[in-house]
Structure 1
Amino acid sequence: MQIEVAYAEAEFQYLISLSLPEGSSAQDAIRASGLLEQLPGLDLQINKIGIFGRPCTLDTVLREQDRVEIYRPLQADPKVVRRERTAAGKTMKKGGGTSRYRVARSAQSDS
């Protein structure tokens, strides 16, 4: 069966296509990809994995055309970041940017 293994660093992305026997697990795919040898800092006890964005375990049996993704640990807790933004008076704009000021629009009537 054909599968892919994906891992992204800040500056570089790895996408490795593999052919594995039926019944192979996510761990089998990661080992066969060679990423553990190429990236010594990659630790499957720390890094979480998923298939197409859905969390899974190392023993999850793969299906044809699955993409096993290895996730990096979060740099910051999202709850803490939101709390800090609120404390600093910043808000999130649509699309993920930040804005220093809240803009209120007032409705004017021509009466």
Structure 2
Amino acid sequence: MRVTVLYSPAAREVLEWEVGVEPGATVAQAIERSGMALARPGLDWHRASVGVWGRKSGLDTVLREGDRVEIYRPLQVDPKLARRERFARQGARAAGLFAKTQVRGPRR
């Protein structure tokens, strides 16, 4: 059966391997078979988060025909912290519920 293994080392850069595995193969077996370890020797995929079709899963997850295995890189910035910093930069009047809205007079 055929599955695809993907890894994105940086924004707008995606490495993709199409792999043939036996029925009942796991995520770990697909990653090993892909040869990704040779292409990215510095990546410790045993400790990285992985998923199938955008849903986080474990290395022991059994794959089906056509599955897409994704290896996730760690976040550079905590999303909550980034939102707080963006809000602080923009100010209370320019963001979210407090954004300025245009007030119009009555229609004539």
TM-score range, shorter chain: 0.7 to 0.9
Quote the residue 1:107 is aligned against.
Answer: 104
Quote the residue 2:74 is aligned against.
Answer: 73
Number of residues paired by the alignment? 103
Tell me, yes or no, if structure 1 residue 43 matches structure 2 residue 44. Answer: yes
Amino acid at match of 2:16: L
Instruction: Answer yes or no: is the 8 Å Cα contact 2:87–2:95 preserved in 1.
Output: no
TM-score (norm 1): 0.82
Deviations 1:37-92 (A, max 9, x none): 21012112442100000000001111111010001111100000111111222566
> Could you list the runs of 5+ residues in structure 2 that have no partner in the other structure?
none
Instruction: Answer yes or no: is the 8 Å Cα contact 1:46–1:73 preserved in 2.
Output: no
Output the CA distance in 1 between the equivalents of 2:29 and 2:60: 9
TM-score (norm 2): 0.84
In structure 2, do the counterparts of structure 1 residues 85 and 27 end up closer, same or farther at CA, with 3 Å as the change threshold? same
What is the percent sequence identity of the aligned residues?
40
- After superposition, the CA RMSD in angstroms is 1.9
Structure (1/2) with the larger helix percentage: 2
Quote the residue 2:9 is aligned against.
Answer: 9
> Could you list the runs of 5+ residues in structure 1 that have no partner in the other structure?
94-101
